[in-house]
Amino acid sequence: ALSELGCVWYEIEHRSDNKSENNGEYNKLQLRVNCPRGLKLTTLSTGGPQGPSGGLQKVAAAHGAVIAARWWDAMSRPNGKSLVVFELSNVLCPYDVLDEMLKEAGVDPAEAAALAAAHGTDYDTEAEGGGDMQPGQGSEQIKNKVMLLKGRSTEVVPKVLQRLQLTPGARLVCGALKAMGFRLAILT
């Protein structure tokens, strides 16, 4: 019935959250298919005029099953593979965490600009908000800042983590996403 409409199987999942009490077999099956753009749910359920199968409803009835069809909304139905990735600096935290690491290590973050100039890289700290890195900033600036940390004690990391401040609303957003079943990751 699905192939007649141009749909392609994506995933078939036996849902164990709704077992039949008498025989212990699965009585709930979730099918995820990729359907052609513009296909209506009614056509998917009842079938198209060109197909002999009569759609999912007719096939299900022939096997004593019931069909509930809806468009997949990954934001409202996350699975164990659903992942949301956040940037730490200037997203989850209202400042550049790498700059805080440099300060804790006794290094002025503005030295990254001097290092960039020595390497012939254009790095304008005034244009970058007084030295704070902004989302999308180039990897050269990050490399320069990391080079300034080379040879420094790793004891600065727990100290910076202890005083880490979150952007207003970050805890709420992360908590809501976790409650919905998303996995979270931080890149920095």
Q: What DSSP string runs through 30-66?
A: EEEEE--TT--HHHHHH--TT-SS-HHHHHHHHTT--
| 20-34 CB burial, b ≥16 within 10 A, e <16 | eeeeeeeeeeeeebe
Give the residue-averaged pLDDT of 117-124: 58
pTM: predicted TM-score of the whole model, two decimal places: 0.50
Q: Give the per-residue pLDDT at 17.
A: 57
Six-digit token string for 140: 């050269």
Six-digit token string for 147: 């080079």
Residue with tokens 């990954």: 74
Six-digit token string for 53: 């199968």
Q: Using pLDDT thresholds of 50, 70 and 90, give the confidence band for residue 161.
A: very high
